[in-house]
Amino acid sequence: MKHRRLLLARHGRTDWNRTFRYQGTTDVPLDDGGREQARRLGLRLKREPLVRIVASPLVRAVETASLVSSSLLEAPPTTYSPQLAELDFGLWEGLSVAEVMERHGDLYRAWREDPFSVEPPGGEPFLSAVDRVGKALAPLLHEGEGTYLVVCHGGTIRAALASLLRLPPDLVWKIRQDNCALTAVDVWDAEPTLAFSNDQAHLLVEEALIDAIPLPR
């Protein structure tokens, strides 16, 4: 039985993450804290035999993937997929959650409850993101066995889980995805299974202990 693991990593922190602003397709770089998070993620994966790194082309994901790769004992090839870019949040980009709630409260609550049917004004339908992210991941499900690191965004990780695990709409925004946390989906032949979610142990311990923290198997 063939086994593949998709390690889904959200990018490191940005200034907009720190102020709870929707970034979407806006190209916001990592802040210093985000770079440190990415470096720590690299230490966590230092000895992990990765087949390939696939990343969103937005700068916060590119920076994260680069910092992770530079910490690995054996860095695999890195490729970039536009299909892994964050959702377009339309008029909400640049606004904080509080500002969105103040201006579009009813719509925002409806979107959080059912993103399959409701979308931000001028933004991307969530089902469109599920479709494109699913297409980006599909080749990995048919490549050789091993572990693939996918560096992208909170929205696209949730879209990946919705695609792979067939999540219902009311669960999508209830899955926490912190900056530089890891989520893993194991694929046995063609059957995906959630292995673990939002693992951020590497951000919480002394640096000397990071590469001794095993990934759940």
Please tell me whether 94 is known to bind a ligand: no
**Identity at 165, one-letter amino acid code:** L
What tokens appear for 110 in the block?
A: 């409806």
**Among residues 183, 154, 160, 158, which one has the least CA distance to residue 172?**
158
Please tell me whether 14 is known to bind a ligand: yes
List b or e across 111-149, with b for residues whose CB sees 16 or more CB atoms inside 10 angstroms: beeebbebbbeebbbbbebbebbbebbeebbeeeeebbb
What tokens appear for 172 in the block?
A: 């999508």
Q: Which of 11, 63, 153, 202 is catalytic?
A: 11
In 128-180, beta strands by DSSP E = 146-152
What are the percentages of helix, strand and coil residues in the chain, rounded to 5? 45, 20, 35
Please tell me whether 16 is known to bind a ligand: yes
Please tell me whether 202 is known to bind a ligand: no
Please tell me whether 147 is known to bind a ligand: no
Please tell me whether 12 is known to bind a ligand: yes
Q: Which of 3, 48, 63, 86 is catalytic?
A: 86
Q: Is the dihedral of CA 187, 151, 167, 173 positive or negative?
A: positive
Please tell me whether 142 is known to bind a ligand: no
Measured distance CA(101)–CA(51) in Å, rounded: 42
Please tell me whether 60 is known to bind a ligand: yes
Verify whether residue 36 is a known catalytic residue: no
Please tell me whether 47 is known to bind a ligand: no
Residue 150 backbone zone (phi > 0: left; psi -120 to 50: alpha; other: beta) = beta
What tokens appear for 58 in the block?
A: 């937005």
Verify whether residue 86 is a known catalytic residue: yes
Known binding positions: 10-17, 60
Catalytic positions:
11, 86
* Residues tagged in the binding site annotation for substrate: 10-17, 60
